[in-house]
Amino acid sequence: MALTFTRRALAGIAAAAALGKREAAAQSPQASALPANPEEELTAVRAQNKANMEQIAKIALPLATEPATHFKA
C-alpha cells in the first residue's frame, strides 16, 4: 500500500494528537511518600513503568514506523 504522507508529516500528526494531554511522569515526579522497603520500591517502579507505557501508547504510531537505530547528519 502506498503511503500518502511523509514520515515527517506523520510525526507532526502524531505529535499534534498528543499535544497538551499528558505530562511525562518521569519529568514530573509525584509528591508521594518515599517507598519504605524494597517491596514497596519494586511496586513503585512497576507502577512508574506501567504509567510510562500508558503514556507512550497514546502516541499515534503509523504502521510503517520502524524502531530508531540510525542517526544521520
Partner 1 sequence: MAQKPNFNDDIIFSTIGELNAKLRAREFSAVELARAFGERLERLGPRYNALALPLREQAMKQAKAVDEDIKIGRLRGMLQGVPFGVKDLLAYPGHPTTWGAKPYAAQVINQTATVIKKLEKAGGLLTGKLSMVELAGGPSYRYARASFQGPGLNPWDRSRWSGGSSSGSGIAVAAGLVPYALGSETSGSILTPSAFCGVTGLRPTYGLVSRSGAMALSWTLDKIGPLCRSAEDCGLVLQAIAGGDAGDPASAGKSFYYAPQFARAFKDITIGFASVDFSAIPDPAAQPDLQKAFEQIKALGVRVKEVKLPDFPYGALVGTIISAEAASIFEPLIMSGQVDQLADQKQIAGLKAGLEIPAKDYLRAMRVRSLVQEGFAELLSDVDILIAPTRSAPAPKISDPLDRIATNRPLPANRGFSALIPAGNLAGLPGLSLPCGFANGMPLGIQLVGRPFSENMLLAVGREYQQRTDHHRKRPPA
Binding site for partner 1 (CB under 8 A): 7-8, 10-12, 14-16, 18-20, 22-31, 34-35, 38, 41-42, 44-46, 48-49, 51-53, 55-59, 61, 65-69, 71-73
**Shortest reach from residue 4's CB to partner 1, in Å:** 16
1 or 66: CB nearest partner 1? 66
Distances (CA, A) of 57 to 18, 22, 52, 60, 66: 10, 12, 9, 8, 15
**Shortest reach from residue 46's CB to partner 1, in Å:** 5
Q: What are the start-end ranges of the H helices in 1-73?
A: 7-18, 38-57
**Residue 69 carries which side chain, given as an amino acid letter?**
T
